[in-house]
Structure 1
């Protein structure tokens, strides 16, 4: 009986990070229909962060130090302002499925960031990135040269920059904040990043042109989905899986999420992605698979101060986009 319950929990947890996180791109697109981008992701981040932080405090009442909050703020700005804020802004112009495909390059950027700060072990992984590079180039060329409905190249660049920001935030948290319990860190990052996003929303004039009564039921439901299902349930399931499964197996969400996002975008939003872009997407996903296979072969056994493998600490912060 306990084995059955264990399998059911594993299936439920993987379903959360596969499908709930895959659905966040659709939720952002629907939320943007009546909520400005910075206000949408800022509200989602603060709400989800408060719930996560409150849950962690129920388990153990701990006052986090100023240094912990500083590390959470730096990584939270990179993860949720640099990535989520840029993603929401770009999704006003770029289809949700295509956005998910470009954000699937996050593992590439993590390799480059680690390599740039002196981790020579990442050199062997560069060969696995080659198909992904060709895939991104093919997508960018096809989507910006389409005469009928071409996308601004600046939005493609912005999405790639948002993936880089997520990678920087992940590596920073791995190296500077590994001693903070995962759920505490996730809540603190969301609160700090969300607060800055709300300030950006005000400074950019979103509040002046925003009327709460104009928010549709669909957009409000999307906001709740992003905060509770995407951030709280998805993140909790992810951390639970990292304690019970090999990190590369858990990280398979990085190539399942784009598939889910593309299907939802086509079925619900009527989005169209050209065949050449789908070929590019296949190249990107194949590179992610290669990277995960290499990580599985060379997975380190050294433990971080938080008690997780160092490889798991890096993945811990690569949660839903």
Structure 2
């Protein structure tokens, strides 16, 4: 049972953060990618955000989690933030920020497919099954209708690669979330929980960047101000505000309600990408976006009734 005593003011602010701020981080990724390699972006983002949160948690003298929780938090942080969000950054080298956000919107569908203990409930519900089919059909349509501004063969390959990477990221985010939800008791949220996830993800992303040779080719002096601005936005708004708001919300509100951010994020990302970065989008892609959101909404509403 989630707590119902959370102040309404903070609940509203937290939902605004996960609804709208997370929708803008996809564009921030693009700006950072102009001069910073993808796993270095993730490493710097999470290490700096985690370090700042650690200082805040220490100043508030919050209790440090036990060793078993630290291990579980570290594993979930790596799965969610490096495997999930980190792979989205990698994918945005191949597809637009709006496209990435639309594919990430399939996360509630993956929750149904990967939540094995509840399969019997899910797969005997015709609306959930219909939602799964509609949602994945929308993803296929969205990728198929992507505009081809350059060589069609190259762009087609890039779209396929980018879509596959984001889908892998969405799956890893869901796996990390399910892993954590089954090991951390509700109501035990402290700043240290998010801090440990961020720091573990930052160290792991930094290691991947080292293996990939990103650190050897990276020269901070050549990075232009807009790229640093994109990274700063990801640190402050994406991790310190939005991710912290998400981590708190899942301890005080039903997961089905919190996950409704997946309906809003792609709309915000597509509009921001189009308005600010001039990312192309076709009318057929807008229709495909509607198909994806219809499938997610149908699945989520049916799942909520099943849980009730």
TM-score (norm 2): 0.86
Q: Match for residue 169 of structure 1? A: 176
Per-residue deviation, residues 285-315 of structure 1 (Å, max 9, x unmatched):
1122123322433445xxxxxxxxxxxxxxx
| Structure 1 segments unaligned to the other structure (5+ residues) | 1-5, 301-321
- 1:61 Cα deviation after fit: 3.6
Q: 2:241 aligns with which of 233, 248, 251?
A: 233
Other structure's SS at 1:208 match: helix
Per-residue deviation, residues 204-248 of structure 1 (Å, max 9, x unmatched):
111111111111111112111111111111133335555665544
CA distance, structure 1, for counterparts of residue 213 and residue 306 of structure 2 = 49
**Would the aligned equivalents of 1:48 and 1:231 in 2 still touch at CA under 8 Å?**
yes
Q: 1:132 aligns with which of 107, 130, 135?
A: 135
Q: How does 1:62-211 map to 2 (within 5 A)?
A: 62-115=63-116, 119-123=119-123, 124=125, 125-143=128-146, 148=152, 149-152=155-158, 153-178=160-185, 181=189, 183-211=191-219
Per-residue deviation, residues 118-162 of structure 1 (Å, max 9, x unmatched):
642222232321210211121233349886443522221111111
- 1:282 Cα deviation after fit: 1.1
CA distance, structure 2, for counterparts of residue 182 and residue 130 of structure 1 = 38
Q: Quick one: structure 1 residues 263 and 191, their matched pair in 2 at CA, closer, same or farther if it must change by over 3 Å?
A: same
Other structure's SS at 2:139 match: helix
| Structure 2 segments unaligned to the other structure (5+ residues) | 1-6
CA distance, structure 1, for counterparts of residue 78 and residue 11 of structure 2 = 31
User: Number of residues paired by the alignment?
Assistant: 294
CA distance, structure 1, for counterparts of residue 73 and residue 39 of structure 2 = 20
Higher RCO (Cα < 8 Å, 6 or more apart): 2
CA distance, structure 1, for counterparts of residue 294 and residue 79 of structure 2 = 26
- 1:9 Cα deviation after fit: 4.6
Q: Quick one: structure 1 residues 86 and 63, their matched pair in 2 at CA, closer, same or farther if it must change by over 3 Å?
A: same
Q: 1:251 aligns with which of 247, 256, 259?
A: 259
Bigger mean CA deviation after superposition, 258-267 or 10-19: 10-19
CA distance, structure 1, for counterparts of residue 79 and residue 255 of structure 2 = 23
